[in-house]
Amino acid sequence: MSRRWLYLMFVGLLIGYGLAGETLPPIHVLSVADVINPVSAEYITESLKAAIQQGSQAMIIQLDTPGGLDKSMRLIIKEMLNSPIPVIVYVAPSGSRAASAGTFITLAAHVAAMAPGTNIGAAHPVAVGSGEMGKEMGEKVTNDAAAYIKSIAEQRGRNVEWAEKAVRESVSASETEALQHKLIDLIALDLNDLLKQLNGRKVVTPAGEHILKTEGAALQHVEMSLRQRLLSMLADPNVAYMLLMLGAAGLFFEISTPGVVLPGVIGGISLLLGLYALQLLPVNYAGLALIVLAIILFIAEIKVTSYGALTIGGIIAMILGSLMLFDAPPPLPGLSLWVVVPATLLVAAFFVFLVGAALKTLSQRPYSGREGLLQKVGVALTPIDQKQGKVFVAGERWNARSEDPIEQGVEVEVVQIDGMTLLVKQKGR
């Protein structure tokens, strides 16, 4: 074989090795199937930062949300708009939706896609945490949201007019209508179809122009961390409510019967977790005040004879306060009546019966120790006068004295304890 052929084979091997060794930057994939709250905002923003640091070529957010909190939504969009890598929002799987806050997030994506059988829209703002908005305040909030979504649509080259209607008129659109109205860029059957359609697409970010190379790229599915999953669970109003009730009951039981320890530990942990959960949820403080009033009424029932009036008032206050506690309009999850009623009855029973029985036990005369000798009956072992004598009480011999003389063998009753000497009187006198 000539040197020329050897040289060509060597070059071919080098080229083949180089092509075989070429690796495409990975693509991070998230899945958000919940309301947009501080936990989901942290999940998306932290995952985006990690994708940028790890040299990912893009990040895909598979979205299915009924909406959520405005503050969390804006935090997500801020990171998306300033991301140096493309962020693709994919409303999927079929049957999913990008409503309310999800509409803003989808329109803010560098590439927006939807699966068949999905919808987008209904982005009119609603009051959270303080009841219904007044007319003037409602107009201000709506105008602010409309201006925000228009600026997003303009920046991404989407239908500004329809975006404004989604806020002002709560209009919605299917995936085909969204594509016709230029709200999204493509319709994909599944994630594999999405990757095929993204391949070769040009995307402009603050870092410059990117050409997506998605065909053959490795996917890195990013799950919520253990901490984020725990916080997501705490963001459920029903879980937060049960933690608050358990915490209040456990701490009060520990205070009323000190030394048990376990109820206090469980109550303290539950109460702290419940209070932390309140930071993740829209809280109505009038409802919280009614719950505190209910607990006060339950405690008062133990001390005051009201023939059940205070307990009934406490139950009513507890139920009303519980229903008012989380002022969360749709689509945010609310507190279930199936949780409120049993919890209220259990808390009422706990305070009225269990704590009441414990307090009655504490108020009873002790049966052991020195204090337990009071009013005990014994027998005079010797004659007893004001100075000395011996008695047999509670299985033991004691020094004793009496204001009135007592003869030997007479039954005596303990009326006072003076050091190691019992002050007694003749029984029946």
Of residues 258 and 22, the one with the higher pLDDT is 258
User: What topology is assigned to 371-426 in CATH?
Assistant: OB fold (Dihydrolipoamide Acetyltransferase, E2P) (2.40.50)
Q: Answer whether residue 154 shows pLDDT above 90.
A: yes
Give the model's confidence band at 333: pLDDT under 50 very low, under 70 low, under 90 confident, else very high: low
Rounded Cα distance, 184 and 159, in Å:
9
State the chain's mean pLDDT as an integer.
Answer: 82
Among 66-75, 199-208, 340-349, 420-429, which stretch is predicted with the lowest mean pLDDT? 340-349
Sign of the C-alpha dihedral computed for residues 140, 145, 150 and 155 taken in this order: positive
Contact between 113 and 91 under an 8 Å Cβ cutoff? The reply is yes
Of residues 205 and 414, the one with the higher pLDDT is 205
Its CATH architecture, for the domain 25-224, is: Alpha-Beta Complex (3.90)
pLDDT given at position 410: 85
Closest CA to 318 of 302, 297, 304, 299: 297
Rounded Cα distance, 252 and 147, in Å:
50
User: φ, ψ for residue 214 (rounded to 5)?
Assistant: -90, -20
Among 160-164, 274-278, 395-399, which stretch is predicted with the lowest mean pLDDT? 274-278
Domain positions in the chain: 25-224, 236-363, 371-426
pLDDT given at position 18: 45
Mean pLDDT value across residues 349-362:
61
Q: Answer whether residue 111 shows pLDDT above 70.
A: yes
Give the model's confidence band at 16: pLDDT under 50 very low, under 70 low, under 90 confident, else very high: very low
Contact between 309 and 318 under an 8 Å Cβ cutoff? The reply is no
Rounded Cα distance, 283 and 248, in Å:
18
pLDDT given at position 21: 46
pTM tops 0.75, yes or no? no
In terms of DSSP bridges, do strands 390-393 and 396-401 run parallel, antiparallel, or are they unpaired? antiparallel
